[in-house]
Chains A and B, each alone.
Chain A
Amino acid sequence: MTVLLFTLVLLAGAILAGFLGSLTGLGGAVILIPLLTLVFKVDIHYAIGTSLIAVIGTSSGAAAAYVKEGITNIRLGMFLEIATTAGAVLGSFLIVYTPANIITVIFGFVLIFSAVMTVRKKTLHIETEDKSKMAAMLRLNSSYPDKGEQIDYKIRHVPAGFFMMIGAGALSSLLGIGAGAFKVLAMDNVMRIPFKVSTTTSNFMIGVTAAAGTAAYLHRGYIDPVLTFPVVVGVLAGSIFGSRILIGSDTKKLRVVFSILISIIAIEMIYKGLKGH
């Protein structure tokens, strides 16, 4: 295959990954990593480096819009970024000592978890009682606009949420993903944040977390320009296209079908990893 053909095929694959990733809410990376490793036979380290760069692009692009709408809780994001970036540094350390096949197995399990998270029923939490002293001290309680109204909410269990974010950050750099599903889990179920706020704030943190991971990978040589260029441009284009279509469309069926598909890929990755391939 020539460089030109390779680039074009990779670009097409990345567009598809970005498109499906934004349409299903799974993110481009969970599709990109299997695509790069299973289809293009790219070593997992290059795949992780490349994917993390794409993650920075899509999350920053999306965060730009959410921040302007005033949905993102910037203080909460900044505070939790201490945990996610520290976790990312931890993950970039762990990757050195984790054999490639173990990374593949962990990736498979995370994939299944993410698939389950996208089809689960969402319950809207709006806590109005000021129960957490820490949330008040850190001024994390805020409000967000919904259908022309400003809705107040309070945040709970700050330390537990903070510790879960360390784990989410570690997974982000260990696997080259945004780990949005874990961030949302911590914010929705533990910190009791309304999901509109948790998904946008998670997205806000993803770029910074991925930047912390890639900072380490850059000087370790995980990031190759010839591989990164088509992937980043493709994922960005695909996700912009996906988010345009997303507005006003019902994606429930798509998410279910896609989650099943993703789970099959996940099982293949776990099997290959355990076989020591």
Chain B
Amino acid sequence: MDQKSVRAGQDKDMEQVMGNLLRYGVILAAIVASAGGIMYLVLHGGDAQPSYAIFNGEPERYKSLQGVLQGVKVFDTSSIMQLGVLLLIATPIARILFSILSFMREKDYLYVIISTIVILIIAFSLFNGLGG
């Protein structure tokens, strides 16, 4: 095989793994959120509906990974739902991390850099953010 078709073959592998990563990420997130959601409804289904008409911001325990994980540990059902949400956010981020690895394997350093820049922008938004 010449250089070009080796690269095309590697791109094909990358496409297959990337496709699976996205699919299973979404499925896992949906299962976790639904499990938490169903348990929440069993426990709190009869409560009065919370109002979302005025923006108050969420309590601290829903606003960070640490907070959510602490809630999950004590089996707080809303925290389990929120964990599903976090898994969903993590899915495309995992896809970029995977791209970095596969571009490295292909020795395509230009795209290792490009993918890394994207990850850094998201990390900036996640940990710092503007006007947060």
A binds B: yes
Q: Which residues of A contact B (CB under 8 A)?
A: 1-7, 40-46, 53, 56-57, 60-61, 63-65, 67-68, 70, 72, 74-75, 78-79, 81-82, 85-86, 88-90, 92-93, 96-97, 138-139, 207-208, 210-216, 218-230, 232-233, 236
| In the complex, chain A residues whose CB is within 8 Å of the CB of B89 | 53, 56, 211, 214-215, 218
Query: Given B40, B53, B57, B92, which contacts A220 in the complex, CB threshold below 8 Å?
Result: B57
Binary contact track B20-59/A, C-beta < 8 Å → 1, others 0? 1011011001100110110011001111111011111111
Q: What residue of chain A has the Cβ atom nearest to residue B117's Cβ? A: A82
Task: Tell me the bound Cα distance from A216 to B53 in angstroms.
Answer: 21
CB atoms of B131 and A57 under 8 A apart: no
Residue B69 is within 8 A (CB to CB) of chain A in the complex: no
CB atoms of A211 and B53 under 8 A apart: no
What does DSSP make chain B's interface, helix, strand, loop or mixed? helix
Q: How far is the CB of B8 from chain A (nearest CB, A)?
A: 10
CB atoms of B88 and A56 under 8 A apart: yes
With A88-B125, A227-B52 known to touch, is A211 a contact of B45 (CB < 8 Å)?
A: no
Chain A CB within 10 A, most for which of B11, B40, B54, B131: B131
With A68-B16, A207-B91 known to touch, is A212 a contact of B48 (CB < 8 Å)?
A: no
CB atoms of A89 and B81 under 8 A apart: no
Query: Given A65, A74, A218, A221, which contacts B99 in the complex, CB threshold below 8 Å?
Result: A74
Q: How far is the CB of B53 from chain A (nearest CB, A)?
A: 5
| In the complex, chain A residues whose CB is within 8 Å of the CB of B29 | 57, 232
Chain A CB within 10 A, most for which of B86, B117, B126, B129: B129
Q: What residue of chain B has the Cβ atom nearest to residue A63's Cβ? A: B22
| In the complex, chain A residues whose CB is within 8 Å of the CB of B92 | 56, 60, 207-208, 210-211
CB atoms of B132 and A78 under 8 A apart: no
CB atoms of B48 and A226 under 8 A apart: no
Residue B114 is within 8 A (CB to CB) of chain A in the complex: yes
CB atoms of A68 and B19 under 8 A apart: yes
CB atoms of B53 and A85 under 8 A apart: no
Which residues of B in the span 92-132 have a Cβ within 8 Å of any Cβ on A?
A: 92-93, 95-96, 99, 110-111, 114-115, 117-118, 121-122, 124-126, 129-132
CB atoms of B34 and A233 under 8 A apart: yes
Task: Tell me the bound Cα distance from A113 to B41 in angstroms.
Answer: 39
CB atoms of A64 and B20 under 8 A apart: yes
Q: How far is the CB of B60 from chain A (nearest CB, A)?
A: 8
With A57-B88, A61-B23, A226-B78 known to touch, is A82 a contact of B122 (CB < 8 Å)?
A: no
With A4-B46, A56-B89 known to touch, is A89 a contact of B110 (CB < 8 Å)?
A: no
A-B complex: 6 closest residue pairs judged by Cβ atoms:
A221-B57, A4-B45, A221-B58, A93-B130, A68-B19, A225-B81
Task: Tell me the bound Cα distance from A4 to B39 in angstroms.
Answer: 11
Task: Tell me the bound Cα distance from A208 to B22 in angstroms.
Answer: 11
CB atoms of B118 and A43 under 8 A apart: no
CB atoms of B129 and A67 under 8 A apart: no
| In the complex, chain B residues whose CB is within 8 Å of the CB of A229 | 33-34, 36-37, 40, 81, 84-85
| In the complex, chain A residues whose CB is within 8 Å of the CB of B82 | 223, 225, 228
Query: Given B54, B62, B111, which contacts A43 in the complex, CB threshold below 8 Å?
Result: B54
Task: Tell me the bound Cα distance from A228 to B40 in angstroms.
Answer: 13
CB atoms of A233 and B125 under 8 A apart: no
Task: Tell me the bound Cα distance from A72 to B22 in angstroms.
Answer: 14
Task: Tell me the bound Cα distance from A14 to B92 in angstroms.
Answer: 22
CB atoms of A85 and B20 under 8 A apart: no
Chain A CB within 10 A, most for which of B16, B49, B79: B49
Residue B70 is within 8 A (CB to CB) of chain A in the complex: no
